Structures are given as C-alpha cells and as structure tokens.
Structure 1
Amino acid sequence: MICIIWNCQGAASKAFRRTLKQFCRSYKPDLVCLFEPKVSGDQANRICISFGFEEWVRVEAVGFSGGIWVFWNHTVEIQVISTHPQFVNLQVKEGNGLPWVLSLVYGSPNISLRRRLFSELTSSSFSTQPCWLACCDFNSVTSSDEVSNAACFNSSRCADFNNWIFREGLIDLGFTG
C-alpha cells in the first residue's frame, strides 16, 4: 500500500493542489492524508472533490487550526471506524491480508485538548484488530532530541505523550527532519 501523509499547513493554494496532484500522478497512492489544511466548509468540500479520489472523509478545522482530510481509492478496502476533532480511525484491509487499524492524528497545540486526545485515543476502542499504526502530528515530543532548541525543552511537556505510548504498548518508529 502506498500512502502520502502530509502536514501540509494549508490546502487552499493552487500551488499546493498542483503539487499534490503531481505527487498522486507520480506515486499513485492508495491513501492520502492531509493535516492542517486550514480550510473549512464548502470550500474544503470543493477542494476535496477536485482531487478525484473515489472516497474521502474529513474532520473540520477549528478556525485555522487542525483539520484532517483522508482520501482513498478502492485499491484498498478502508472503513471509517470513528472520527474525532483530533483523529480519524480507519480499518484497513489489503487484498487477502488481515485488517488493521490506522489512526491519523493531529494533536491540538492546546495542552488540555491534547490531554483529551491521549485519554480518548486508545487501542481498547478496536481491540479485535491485530495491528495498530498511529501516525502524524501529535504536537508532542518524547525527548529533547526531537526539538530544535533543547534549551527551551520542558520534560513535563512530553510526559503525557510518553505515558500514552507506554500505556498503549506502542513503539516509536522515530522521525526524520
């Protein structure tokens, strides 16, 4: 399965839409997820339709913050399990393989809302699935190695995220960039 998962921080510009369409022509993804599109309502619907995917779901941005758009074609079987202001849970089934869960997350920059994310996004919601991949922008870090200015790092700020990773039995796959 080929996925494009992109914290685009704005999807309204013609340049962004042109770039995404070029990526889709080049890589032929089965699934595309965009975070922080910063577009809502009818304008968001028109943009989503313009990408030409067979299916899509979106979580509305709150003002100009957040928002999650997910697009897919029938090359992969996807069922929306749930939507939430900070995440979308999908059941993914590829060919004859077992279904698994994909959580696409945009954690609020607001710490109290992000704490709700960590209490509400739990594997117990879909415990019958053998595998779970949670990815995207949690707006949290696990250590000072993940920040550009370590002098401003506050370890208490990452405690909720680290506790959630531990409680859910997840493995941090790391990052680049």
Structure 2
Amino acid sequence: MNCLSWNCRGLGNHQRVPELSDLVKAKGPKVIFLMETWKKKSYLERLRCRLKYGNMFIIPRRNLGGGLALLWSNDLNLHIRTFSPRHIDAVINLGIDDAWRFTGFYGAPEVANREDSWSVLRHLGLQFVLPWVCVGDFNKITRVDEKSGGAVRPEKQMQDFRDCLDVCGLKDLGYLGLPFTWCNRRYNEALVWVRLDRAVATADWILKFPTACLHHLPGSSSDHKPLWLVSDDLQTRFNRAQKPFRFEAIWLKDERCEGVVHSVWDKSSSGDPVSKVLRKVGVC
C-alpha cells in the first residue's frame, strides 16, 4: 500500500503542481487521490502526463469548484466500481484472493449536507465485503481534541460521524506528524487548526496491512496537509501470515475496559456473523 491523498484547493495555483510533483518523486505513490481540483479534464490530463501516471479517473468540477481525481500506476490492477461528487470507490486485484478495496472520500463542507456524506459512506459499507480502506477529507472531527481554536464543535455532529464509522466497521488508523491537517491561515486573527483529513479501515484490512501508517506531510501551498498512507512490507505482504487477535490481560486493570467492550458489543451491526465480530473487535 502506497497512497497519497490531498485536498489541494485548486490545482491552478502556481505553487501546488510543483509541490505535488515533488511529493510524487519523494514518496512514489501507486495511487493519488485529489480533491477540490477546480480544473477541467484537459488540465488534469496534462497533470497526469507530467506526473507520469498511466491511468486517471475524474469527477468533473461543479461550476468553478469541486472536482475529484484518482491517478494510479500501470502496474496496479485497479478497477473503479462506483463514484459520485463525494467519492471514488475502487477494487485492487479484483477477482483474486488478494483483492482489497480503496475509497477516496470527500465529505460535504456544509453542515447542512453532512448527513448526505454519511449516507454515502454507509451505502458504500453495504456494497460488498472486502478488506477496505477509506482515505480523504471527511470535513468533520470525531473528538474535541482534534480541533484547536475557534468555536467548539457540537457533540451531536461528532457523534453522528463516530456512529457512521461504527456502522461501516471503520477504525481510524491514527497518524504520524503534526496533529492537524487544515488551518484557516488567519495568523494575525483567530487561528484555527483542525484534523479534517484521515484514513479509516476495516479490521480485515488492518490485518492485511499490519504495518500501514498514515503520515501528515508538511505542505505550504494549500490550507490542507497531504496524507501519505504507506506500508513498510510492500515486498512481503503477500506471504505474511495474518496476525490473530490477542487479548491482553493487562487491559482488565484499566477501569474503562468493561465499559468499552459493553458499548461496542451492545450496538447492532449488519453483515454476516464473522464480519460483525471483526468489526466489533476493530472498534474495541
């Protein structure tokens, strides 16, 4: 797994394309997911050629804003399954035992449309059962400590996002780097930092890529930081045995342990019995 995700807020900025080119050269991602491209197909085709990627799928911009693009290398067996202005869903290694699922996601920035975003994500969660990772700008936080400065986000909005992730069996992969991915850049006024961008995955995807790690990369040309999701076992993952879940006895000494288990196991979940258990274990 080697993926780059970035809300670039308009690729027309003269600094953003060189910065993206430098990131591609340094990280060598097999997949690039871009949000808020703001550009026409002809411009994005020239970008694809400049970055030397063999394949690209585009969700056109709406009026002068929006737009999504997924680029991937020729040596990656990737098939687009579904798409919308909010997502591009793909299967990698379709038809073989090693198949898994990648979704680039862009949540609605408007609070009034936030529930539509979660409806899209819940619908994707019901499509089919494969190890699944979802990366992008969700435009929402799950906890108050994912925001610094500005007004406190309503608890209900955060709970709605957490509930959606739980229903889909998606677990936050965490990150390395600075804790926030977006800044309002009002350095002389009320500065606000928020973790809007993230990667989430199902328990079976995490077992498939146990060393996968999300990096918050430094970036200067956009108000969002690029995300780099990479596994350090790229050459050996096909032969790596899956690690079984192990319960750690020391967890029982934490007074929160029983409450966490009860809160997860008492929630209803869709799917077959094995998938339900895997999701609940992942959430725990």
Task: State the TM bucket, normalised to the shorter chain.
Answer: 0.7 to 0.9
Counterpart residue number, 1:77: 77
Number of matched pairs = 174
> Could you tell me whether the CA contact under 8 Å between 1:106 and 1:139 is conserved in 2?
yes
Larger deviation, residues 20-29 vs 102-111: 20-29
User: Aligned letter for 1:152?
Assistant: V
Could you list the runs of 5+ residues in structure 1 that have no partner in the other structure?
none
- Closer, same or farther: CA 74–43 of 1 in aligned 2, 3 Å: closer
Q: What is the RMSD of the two structures over their aligned residues, measured on CA atoms?
A: 2.3
> Could you tell me whether the CA contact under 8 Å between 1:66 and 1:106 is conserved in 2?
no
SS for the counterpart of 2:70 is strand
Higher relative contact order (CA 8 A, sep 6+): 2
Deviations 1:101-152 (A, max 9, x none): 111111011234331221122321122x2x1111111101111011112752
User: In the TM superposition, what is the alpha-carbon distance from 1:159 to its structure 2 partner?
Assistant: 2.4
Q: Which runs of 4+ in 1 moved over 4 A?
A: none
Question: Which of the residues 116, 125, 128 maps onto 1:126?
Answer: 128
**Hey, what's the Cα distance between the residues in 2 that align with 1:21 and 1:135?**
20
Counterpart residue number, 1:167: 167
Map 1:18-33 to 2 at 5 A: 18-33=18-33
- Closer, same or farther: CA 114–48 of 1 in aligned 2, 3 Å: farther
Larger deviation, residues 38-47 vs 136-145: 38-47
Map 1:34-53 to 2 at 5 A: 34-53=34-53
Deviations 1:8-63 (A, max 9, x none): 22211332212222222232221111112222454444444443310001212334
- Closer, same or farther: CA 138–65 of 1 in aligned 2, 3 Å: farther
Counterpart residue number, 2:156: 156
**Hey, what's the Cα distance between the residues in 1 that align with 2:27 and 2:172?**
26
> Could you tell me whether the CA contact under 8 Å between 2:8 and 2:34 is conserved in 1?
yes
Q: Calculate the TM-score normalised by the size of structure 2.
A: 0.55
Q: Calculate the TM-score normalised by the size of structure 1.
A: 0.85
User: Alignment identity in percent?
Assistant: 22
Larger deviation, residues 146-155 vs 75-84: 146-155
